[in-house]
């Protein structure tokens, strides 16, 4: 239904609102989505509130949800990286019903903002979002990233030691945020973590991670060059059959109890 769907959150869970699945025509659960379209010989980066939604090279069309929104003003940005003056990138933010079949940019209804770029460069816009659920990041204070990388290392050490309690302590905000976003309850999250720490996976750290300030400085996104989180779980299986790799720890918030992960 969605073309080349790339989840915003690579890892622990699939939030219910992330997939646009079939719903009765009389019901409408509103979601804010971003339709985008890139061309050959170009890399298109799309961000909302500086959160990386997609970073894709080559011709493609996609629709992804914009889940990390602020009440009121939200920043919308596209960046086209190319040597071709004819390459184009286009994206639009729009409100849809969960279950609708999204269209390419320029053909959706209820558009909040749209951007178009030809040749190398970037475009910015502001759009308005409605009142959000009581997500943890909405009350986060604007802070520096001091101590964040140390917290990520502590989280990875807990995983390597098989310390499920210590590892899940970093997920405190997720236990309330994900159910509000239509995701799984805490017990299911704990079950998924137990599976990851069961010994079936090799635990690694992503190399060359970037720490990006997001949500107006209330939080940080930590990703590698593939937009993956800094903690990697690689399935222990025969290489010939392929290995599943799961990454976590991409979205961090400074709380009274220290740095915590508020999304996978």
Domain boundary pick from 110, 129, 148? 129
Together in a domain, 78 and 101: yes
Q: Are 21 and 2 contacting, i.e. CB atoms less than 8 angstroms apart?
A: no
pTM, two decimals, is 0.82
Together in a domain, 79 and 162: no
Q: What is the pLDDT along the chain (264 residues), one digit of tens a residue?
A: 333 333 333 233 333 333 343 434 547 888 999 999 999 889 999 999 999 998 888 888 889 999 899 999 999 999 999 999 999 999 999 999 988 888 899 999 999 999 999 999 999 999 999 899 999 999 888 999 999 999 999 999 999 999 999 999 999 999 989 899 888 888 998 999 999 999 999 999 888 899 999 999 999 999 998 889 999 999 987 666 667 889 999 999 999 999 999 998
Domain boundary pick from 90, 105, 129? 129
Is residue 2 one of the residues assigned to a domain?
no
Residues 126-169 pLDDT 10s: 999 989 999 999 988 899 999 999 999 999 999 999 999 999 99
Together in a domain, 145 and 198: yes
Structural domain of residue 92, as residue ranges?
A: 16-129
Reported in sequence order, the residue ranges of the chain that DSSP labels E, i.e. its strands, are 30-38, 43-48, 51-57, 60-65, 72-81, 88-97, 111-118, 121-129, 201-205, 210-214, 219-223, 231-235, 245-248, 251-255, 258-263
Residues 205-226 pLDDT 10s: 888 899 999 999 999 999 998 8
Together in a domain, 152 and 252: yes
Together in a domain, 117 and 192: no
């Amino acid at each position: 239904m969605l073309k080349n769907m790339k989840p915003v959150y690579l890892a622990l869970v699939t939030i219910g609102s992330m997939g646009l699945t079939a719903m009765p025509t009389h019901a409408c659960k509103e979601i804010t989505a971003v339709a985008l379209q890139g061309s050959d010989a170009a890399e298109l980066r799309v961000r909302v509130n500086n959160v990386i939604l997609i970073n894709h090279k080559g011709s493609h069309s996609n629709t992804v949800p914009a889940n990390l929104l602020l009440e009121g003003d939200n920043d919308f940005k596209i960046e086209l990286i190319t040597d071709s003056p004819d390459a184009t990138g286009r994206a639009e933010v729009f409100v849809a019903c969960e279950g609708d079949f999204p269209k390419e940019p320029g053909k959706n209804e209820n558009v909040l903002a749209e951007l178009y770029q030809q040749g190398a460069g970037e475009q910015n816009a502001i759009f308005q979002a409605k009142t959000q659920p009581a997500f943890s990041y909405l009350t986060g204070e604007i802070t520096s990233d001091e101590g964040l990388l140390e917290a990520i290392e502590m989280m990875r050490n807990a995983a390597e030691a098989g310390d499920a309690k210590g590892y899940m302590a970093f997920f405190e905000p997720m236990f309330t945020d994900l159910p509000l976003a239509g995701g799984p309850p805490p017990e299911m999250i704990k079950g998924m973590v137990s599976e990851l720490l069961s010994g079936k996976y090799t635990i690694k750290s992503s190399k060359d991670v970037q720490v990006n300030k997001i949500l107006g400085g209330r939080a940080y996104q930590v990703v590698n060059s593939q937009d993956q989180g800094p903690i990697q779980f690689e399935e222990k299986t025969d290489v010939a059959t392929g290995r599943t790799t799961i990454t976590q720890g991409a979205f961090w918030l400074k709380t009274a109890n220290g740095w915590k992960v508020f999304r996978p």
